[in-house]
């Protein structure tokens, strides 16, 4: 293999890993945000409009 081929394979692998990790993090953050909002919607509100920690 020439040096250019190895360079491009390494470049694609590295950027693929970084982009894969970034998309995974975004996906899990959105999933957790949905779960948190669904859980907080189930919590009763106090008289002053704040959510209770019961």
- Tell me if residue 45 falls in helix, strand or coil: strand
- Distance (Å, whole) CA 27 – CA 21: 10
DSSP summary character for residue 53: -
Residue 51's pLDDT is 64
Is the pTM of the predicted complex or chain greater than 0.75? no
SS3 51: strand
The pLDDT value recorded for residue 2 is: 86
What pLDDT, on a 0 to 100 scale, did the predictor assign at position 15? 96
How would you classify residue 19: left for phi > 0, otherwise alpha for psi between -120 and 50, otherwise beta?
A: alpha
């Amino acid at each position: 293999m020439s040096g250019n081929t190895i360079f491009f394979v390494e470049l694609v692998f590295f950027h693929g890993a970084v982009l894969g990790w970034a998309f995974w993090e975004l996906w899990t953050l959105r999933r957790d945000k949905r779960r948190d909002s669904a859980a907080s919607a189930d919590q009763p509100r106090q008289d002053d409009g704040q959510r209770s920690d019961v």
